[in-house]
Structure 1
């Protein structure tokens, strides 16, 4: 805890020094964005001083029953709601294998169900964020393949047409996300995430900064200009990073991103070192976001199995109160061994409910139906 306080003091001083340079929220990266998409982003900026939205990946699709057995596809079921009493404010979804024209994503969730879950989350006034672990378009291997790929799929490359065909499938799905009046549902789209690591084919050791930014800009321009998708809020999402220069080394520019975030997990780290490490990165993120007028977010976070019964209020909550971010998305409850949020009877369930009850955390019950999409908050 002493180490965490040291980081807090240093980070607070840095944030104050940067305060004079902070900008007002920048305009959305897509000038042709739908009114609801522009309003959502503006409202997320307005909501930022009021608290952090809690998110969960695949929350409506499956989870863990009290007895340690999985549930799958139960109508309106949610481990978050079962534990805390309300749905998350942010729902995460995955589109990997959409590019293969598969009926199910890489986690076996049907894309037709994902579409209906997006619509359900939108109807309750929550926010949807979408990631895409697309298979390697150069050699057909998984997203976790680390063969050099990006130069082959850029314009002029031998596999560029393959990549464009995959973008066409992605665009068709994103364009099919419609509300009850046929309106396009705004979503936060998070491509090529964790690019500062080297476990995906778009990673730091797998392409140069120039190649990565060229791929990012082509992708965003193609979706906006060629496919006429104007319901996208674009998220730039790193993994670990040493400093501001490292974080921004592959940044495509303010015209190509709306949300700045990073992913971080306890995993095999010493849990005692997780909090000060997160404090350092959150301090950098909030400072960089202010300087660029972008929305800061903890785009993925979690402690596999959540074995610490007070992790939510003693580790996460102090961080989120000290460093305001728009949302913090915990990863999926994939099976009874690997899961990232509480469920009824789990060791941290009581603490998670206290986390939910804190005035600084925002779940769907505090948003109201379509409020973020229809009027300034």
Structure 2
């Protein structure tokens, strides 16, 4: 994604009449598969919307389409004209280095022609530290009407920061996690390290070394009293990092959940769901985050049955609730010996990444107890073991700004500590 296009629908001018002496207009904008619309302004052919609609831009060559409708309560909404405009000149101007320009500088002038929808000259300008374009769009396929709008560009940071070298840089981390502590407003990177001298530890479990880096600081810090932790990927939720482990590694007894509090940088333990017996191993068990709750996934009575327990109250065993049970009606077994990644979709289905020796991506419908396999093709690797799905949420937060905010906060504290007291 290149960035976000914010379109302010300002007003309509002399729009067509579709009802008795007036209209109830609203505007719909479209780009590719994206569709957004304004509110309805009743009985007004010169409506004031002043409403912002934001589109994500992947392809700058796609035009933005605008349609004005008259809202009709008893039949289909009537069209009141349409327009289409090109955003490529605007995006090209946004990509220029314009930080030194005086306020109000005109970057590009676009003149009305038969090839565009402009009713008058449209200027792309540098205003208040950003690029804007005012457009007066003449509506087509209608007897009259114009729509005034303004374009603004929102850049996605697309930035990265390089972490400082650790004193334990030569020890390869087997688990890393990135988490946010809301109580301290800090972002931290946690690394668990296994020294090569620990190769004789029981497979899947080890007592690792742990170090933490706070964004905006200058060094890694070692954490003491690290419990036994499985090498599996942890679950991260609300400033806590969760692992499955055993209290007694040698006998594989007393299954526990190890928690790392990102704010206090302390480890502690919480009990697993009541469905877990002390002798159970971790082969077919997994911690995950589902709908903002910690969940525990484990195999049921057969390979065709998995249960999902959800913890409603952090740390309390009584708060574990069996919320989902996955079964498979088809003759082809798709529940395989291995771990799960899952996400609940808006339509009630689950997107699953599962399996053992061969990873599979698919949808599961809990209502009908059926699944649909998704075929993934890769130009380099045709074996599906090589892929791993992630959930992507676009963010306007720059990691560089996070570090600057934290560092500035520390400076302010230091200034107050050394500020002389008034007598």
Q: TM-score range by the shorter chain?
A: under 0.3
Higher strand share: 2
TM-score by length of 1: 0.25
TM-score by length of 2: 0.23
Higher helix share: 1
Larger Rg: 2
Higher relative contact order (CA 8 A, sep 6+): 1
